[in-house]
Structure 1
Amino acid sequence: MAASSSPRAGRFALTVYLALSRTPHGLLDLAGPFCAALLCRGGLPPASVIALGCLTVFAGYTAVYALNDIVDYRSDKRQVEASGRDARLNYLDAAFIRHPLAHGYLTLPAAVAWFLFWAVTAFCGAWVLNPVCAWLLIAGCLLETAYCLLLTVSHLRALINGVVKALGPLAAAFAVSPDPSPWFLLGLFAWVFTWEIGGQNIPADWHDAARDAITGARTVPVVLGYRRASRLAVACLAASLALAVPLLALSPLAVSAPLWLAATLGGAWLLLPPSVALAASLADEAAAALFNRASFYPALVLAVLVVHLILG
């Protein structure tokens, strides 16, 4: 999987591939499936499941994020040609290089080879854990492709994005339990879905809104406008915080009241001030700040669950 021979591509080949998969962001996303596994099982799974699960989840997120840039290659390239490189440095998804494929830092065949390697790795690991997990991975890849192809069709594609992000935690639940409670799965889905829409999708599309408008993209901020989109983000994040309470307290892990309260207050500190600030200012910088802080929310919840296990 060689990077492009372009002078821009030769300096940090591995960094280019990690940028394609948005690895700094993807590593934070791993906390979501880990939370789901602990909550569903009610404790730590066997060491073999933990090891295989870590590899599988990392491979899955690495593949799906790469797939996003591959399917969006032409639209990203049009955006780059129309507006140039995103120069903002305070945005998590641009920690290395934003859209390296569109900028010519690697070739399309190299990007596809990278995706296939991690997709096959994730599929094999998921199948061993539970075939349901493998089917959810396939569904996630298909939905991610549909999400990208609907860029200029409808802003409602954001709903697909919420489903895709929720599939990882759902797969983690099936990896540790052959028959998880439907109510738990529904609560888990709603918790992740609302967090993704309010804390990831809307601020990420906001970050690109000015460039999206040039290329005809239809996203929530572009179609609904900044004010309505910001209010929707606040509502979704408030709902996610509320949904987390019964999920933590009533799951098989049975997180104690002081700890689920700590998770709620910590989550409120991470999510609500930047979302309210975005609604008040409607500034691009506030959208980037919301995206960055919201990305740490699953990791915060995971830290609380680890404390519960230690104290339990």
Structure 2
Amino acid sequence: MPASATPPAGTPGHFALTVYLALSRTPHGILDLAGPFCAALLCRGGLPPLSVVVLGCVTVFAGYTAVYALNDIVDYRSDKRQVEKSGRDARCNYLDAAFIRHPLAHGCLSLPAAIAWFLCWVAVAFVGAYALNPVCAWLLVAGCLLETAYCLLLTVTHLRALINGVVKSLGPLAAAYAVSPDPAPWFLVLLFAWVFTWEIGGQNIPADWHDAVRDAVTGARTVPVVVGYRQASRLAVACLGASLAISAPLLAASPLAVAAPLWLVALLGGAWLLLPPALRLAATREDEAASALFNRASFYPALVLTVLVIELLVR
């Protein structure tokens, strides 16, 4: 991999690998891996062959690493304007800022080095996805194109959030095709709706809320900026409630046929994880509440994955 540039003043302790991991938001990306893993277990009804598991792990990690890096690469100029006009975001209680947020815009990394990092990982992801199922490879290509469109629409429309929901859903959909050549259409619809609503309510809205003041300065059009904090918080609660509701039939009626006590655990555990911070955000409309919602919602797929693993172990 290419070497990084020297970090600028104010970013001590960030060495080469950390900067690249920050570009790809790796702590968050690792949590996101739980979504495709859930989809694979639910669609197949159990564990796939070991070869598929190993190849799938490498491919999913590479795919998320590439797409998150692509976001910062395409957003490079807008992120840099935001840094120049609003200063560095020094808050450390936000998952996406676990290392350093937007290292490319802060000058910790050169644009050619970031592009090389992206190309390496997207190549690994494409080869792995094609080996699993060519459909997975084309879903990866679609995800990259849609992520690019999502970034380019930053100052055009807040409805770009819908694209973000689609992009996040493509990973689990690809995982379903990786373990089954012909997944049931109803399963794919439920899977898409489950991930889409969770992403909008628990990731996109609180993430844009975290940046709303800085976004307004640079002319960005996001859901909190355009519709206002009150409506954005209500939409987050509604989307998360819908995601929880969809999870019950998805788990119970999937080929894995999760037992009632366990899908109820997933439902109640998800409600405990998602709804209190979402309701707090709606009540207080504070930036800290938005960060708390984003952070807690990021663990929701991992919670569901834990339930599915328990289902496999108790059979």
TM range (shorter): over 0.9
Please give the secondary structure, in 2, of the residue aligned with 1:274: helix
* Deviation of the 1:5 alpha carbon: 3.8
User: Where does structure 1 differ by over 6 angstroms across 4 or more consecutive aligned residues?
Assistant: none
Inter-partner Cα distance in structure 1 for 2:85 and 2:248: 45
Which deviations, in whole Å up to 9, do the C-alpha atoms of 1:223-271 show, x marking residues without a partner?
0000000000000000000000000000000000000000000000000
Conservation of the 8 A alpha-carbon contact between 2:201 and 2:236: yes
Give the equivalent residue in structure 1 for 2:4.
3
Cα distance in 2, alignment partners of residues 135 and 56 from structure 1: 13
- Taking only aligned residues, the RMSD between alpha carbons, in angstroms, comes to 0.9
Any gaps of 5 or more consecutive residues in structure 2?
none
**What residue in structure 2 maps to residue 76 of structure 1?**
79
Find the partner of 2:102 among 99, 105, 120.
99
* Matching residue's letter, 1:141: C
* 1:261-280 pair list within 5 angstroms: 261-280=264-283
CA distance in 1, matches of 2:170, 2:106: 30
SS at 1:287's partner residue? helix
Residue 29 of structure 1: aligned partner: 32
Query: Is there any run of 5+ residues in structure 1 with no aligned partner, and where?
Result: none
Q: Is the 8 A contact 2:95 2:295 kept in 1?
A: yes
Tell me if 1:128 matches 2:131. yes
Residue 208 of structure 1 corresponds to 211
Q: CA deviation at 1:11?
A: 4.7
Give the SS at the match of 2:142.
helix
Partner of residue 108, structure 1: 111
Per-residue deviation, residues 109-168 of structure 1 (Å, max 9, x unmatched): 000000000000000000000000000000000000000000000000000000000000
Q: Once the 2 structures are TM-superposed, how far is the Cα of residue 4 of structure 1 from its aligned partner?
A: 1.2
CA distance in 2, matches of 1:2, 1:91: 27
1:82-231 paired onto structure 2 within 5 Å: 82-231=85-234
Pair 1:40 & 2:43 matched: yes
Which of 51, 64, 68 is equivalent to 1:65? Answer: 68
- Look up the equivalent residue of 1:2 and give its one-letter code: A
Deviation at 1:6, TM superposition (A): 5.0
Contact 2:8–2:106 (8 Å) recurs in 1 = no
Q: Is the 8 A contact 2:8 2:107 kept in 1?
A: no
- The TM-score, its normalising length taken from structure 2, stands at 0.98
TM-score, with length taken from structure 1: 0.99
Report the equivalent of 2:284. Answer: 281
Number of aligned positions between the proteins: 312
Q: Which AA in structure 2 matches 1:110?
A: A
Distance change >3 Å, CA 283–CA 182, structure 1 → 2? same
1:107–1:299: structure 2 CA closer, same or farther, 3 Å change rule? same
| Identity fraction in percent | 82
Aligned partner letter, 2:188: L
Supply the distance in 1 between the matched residues of 2:30 and 2:7 (Cα, whole angstroms): 28
